[in-house]
Amino acid sequence: MAMNLRLPDDLQEALKERADEEGRSMHAIVLVAIERYLTEEADRATVRKLGAKYATNHADLLRRLGE
């Protein structure tokens, strides 16, 4: 799928400078950033889900620890 990405001028310039410093394309850096974001968000969702599960399963213990 093709996609246009419109960045504010300052962000585009920072991205271009970083790409030049690393000898990579802006496209390559953006792909890594998107992949990292998606992975981290999936991990956060898993942690929230497990936290809610264990908080429910161990509500009595957590209540007693809070006393």
In a domain, 49, yes or no: yes
**At 65, phi and psi to the nearest 5?**
-65, -30
In a domain, 45, yes or no: yes
Number of domains in the chain: 1
Distance in angstroms (rounded) separating the CA atoms of residues 3 and 20: 22
pLDDT of 67 > 80? The answer is no
In a domain, 5, yes or no: no
- The number of beta carbons lying within 10 Å of the beta carbon of residue 48 is 10
Angle (deg, nearest 10), helices 26-57 and 9-22 = 100
Structural domain of 59: 37-67
pLDDT of 64 > 90? The answer is no
In a domain, 32, yes or no: no
In a domain, 66, yes or no: yes
pTM: 0.63
pLDDT in tens, 2-54: 889 999 999 999 999 999 999 999 999 999 999 999 988 888 888 888 888 88
